[in-house]
Amino acid sequence: MIPALLLAAAALPQDGAAADFLHPPRAVAIRQAVEWLVAHQRPDGAWGSHESPRPIEVLCSVPGSHQVFRVATTALCVMALDHSPYRTAASRAAADRGIDAILREHEVKRVDLMEHYTVWALGYTLQCLGERLLAAPDDPRAEEMRAVCRRMVEKLGRYQCLDGGWGYLSLQEFKTYQPSFTSMSFTTATCLIGLERARRAGVEVPAEMVRRAVDSVDRCETAMKSFTYGELWRRSRPNSPSVNHSIGAACRGPACLESLLVWDRARPRADLVRALDRLLIDHAAYQVAALRRPIPHESHYAISGYFYLYGYYHAALLQRRLPLAERRRYAPYLERAVNVCRQPDGSYWDYPLYSYHKPYGTAFALLALSEVDEILG
């Protein structure tokens, strides 16, 4: 354990110029990330595929679950290109082709009663289309985008767990059409953020659906001011060295808090600062130590590599709510932590996942770096 954490700490933010050689100039990193996404878009406008060079992969059945991953990945890539401070004619065209791919492939389905990764595509599609509608209300596809958002909201109602949130797997012996297994706090958070963007863009969102989901995330908060993996673990021992410890939960905290705040569930400033401190400073080495390990939850405190860039992207969203001076304090930590995942070709990834990991990883990283660039210029 100690050697792994020491190696992880070597890649973490440091004061002064000691670690500068580890990271490129921000403008270069952003430009190369954009260029990588443009160069690796599929001919049909989407990003990612089922192809994998690895003998072991996570459970993902064909065809439905792969369509879900592809739509979700494409939504993230479009958001990243839309938000980037570096934009070209090619990147704008790629984002537009990505929107077309989402509109064409949005009707995602789960393949069986165990896998309902579907919610990831629904959440990210709502966020992507909602943000595009807010930024470009006169887009000629606006009505079609709103229609797709309404369909996504309807489907989220079908997949809402009995506890009020959303999960991506049903692992109990008896599986049901309306998922009865536990929701996951961060999956619910992702869907809530997407629903909020769609609502702001003029799409009707059922208040009762939102209330139940927000209550579910709220219930996952522990006495340690972190969030359990899901409702099933609400009564777990908070001090045990598990995924529900504040160290194991560090990447979930920003997303869960952001999802509560966008739906007006107030939290004191101290909670935001605590969540950012834990992820960016206090427990950062544990997050790095889990990077690229191929077996889920095999690292310390059951952390998975796929938590990493997800967590730092949502930290970038959460820090928007703080005064500028505090945002400037966190920005270098955020930038350097993201760049730990950077590859020589300009892409980013945190966990091997068929051929989705580089597109979604690069998208998360670009979104976070764009926030940093807005703060530091």
Supply the DSSP string of 290-324, one letter for each residue: TTT-SSTT-SGGG--GGGHHHHHHHHHHHGGGS-H
Query: What's residue 22's pLDDT?
Result: 55
The two three-digit tokens of residue 79, written as one number: 């958001």
Measured CA to CA, the distance from residue 37 to residue 40 in angstroms comes to 5
Query: What's residue 17's pLDDT?
Result: 38
Classify residue 219 as exposed, middle or buried by CB count within 10 Å of its CB (0-12, 13-18, 19+). Answer: middle
Measured CA to CA, the distance from residue 213 to residue 188 in angstroms comes to 7
User: Residue 134, Cβ neighbours under 10 Å: how many?
Assistant: 13
Q: For residues 164 and 184, is the Cβ–Cβ distance under 8 A?
A: no
The two three-digit tokens of residue 125, written as one number: 């599609």
DSSP of 63-95: THHHHHHHHHHHHHHHHHHHH-S---HHHHHHH
User: At residue 250, what are phi and psi to the nearest 5 degrees?
Assistant: -60, -35
Nearest residue to 48 via CA among 362, 369, 365, 366: 362
Coil, strand, or helix at residue 85?
coil
The length of the chain is 377
Query: What's residue 176's pLDDT?
Result: 85
Provide Rg for the chain, Cα atoms.
Answer: 19
One-letter amino acid of 155: K
Nearest residue to 353 via CA among 284, 298, 295: 295
Measured CA to CA, the distance from residue 137 to residue 115 in angstroms comes to 35
CA of residue 346 relative to chain centroid, distance:
20
Query: What's residue 241's pLDDT?
Result: 74
Q: Roughly how many angstroms between the first and final C-alpha of the chain, as a whole number?
A: 38
Measured CA to CA, the distance from residue 300 to residue 248 in angstroms comes to 8
Query: What's residue 38's pLDDT?
Result: 98
User: Residue 98, Cβ neighbours under 10 Å: how many?
Assistant: 28
Measured CA to CA, the distance from residue 104 to residue 88 in angstroms comes to 24
Measured CA to CA, the distance from residue 366 to residue 85 in angstroms comes to 10
Name the packing angle between helices 207-219 and 185-200 (round to 10°). Answer: 150
Q: Quick one: DSSP state of residue 281? A: I
Q: Residue-wise pLDDT tens for the chain (377 aa)?
A: 444 554 454 454 444 433 444 578 999 999 999 999 999 999 999 999 999 988 889 988 999 999 999 999 999 999 999 999 999 999 999 999 999 999 999 999 988 889 999 999 999 999 999 999 999 999 999 999 999 999 999 999 999 999 999 999 998 877 888 888 899 999 999 999 999 999 999 999 999 999 999 999 999 999 999 999 999 887 766 667 789 999 999 999 999 999 999 999 999 999 999 999 999 999 999 999 999 998 889 999 999 999 999 999 999 999 999 999 999 999 999 999 999 999 999 999 999 999 999 999 999 999 999 999 999 98
Long-range CB pairs of 265-271, under 8 A, 24+ apart, other chains included:
265/214, 265/218, 269/322, 271/225
Query: What's residue 371's pLDDT?
Result: 98
Measured CA to CA, the distance from residue 336 to residue 280 in angstroms comes to 10
Whole-model pTM: value is 0.94
Coil, strand, or helix at residue 282?
helix
Coil, strand, or helix at residue 118?
helix
> Which domains, from first to last, does the chain contain?
2-372 (1.50.10.20)
- Alpha carbon distances (Å) from 198 to 83, 236, 297: 17, 34, 32
Query: What's residue 85's pLDDT?
Result: 98
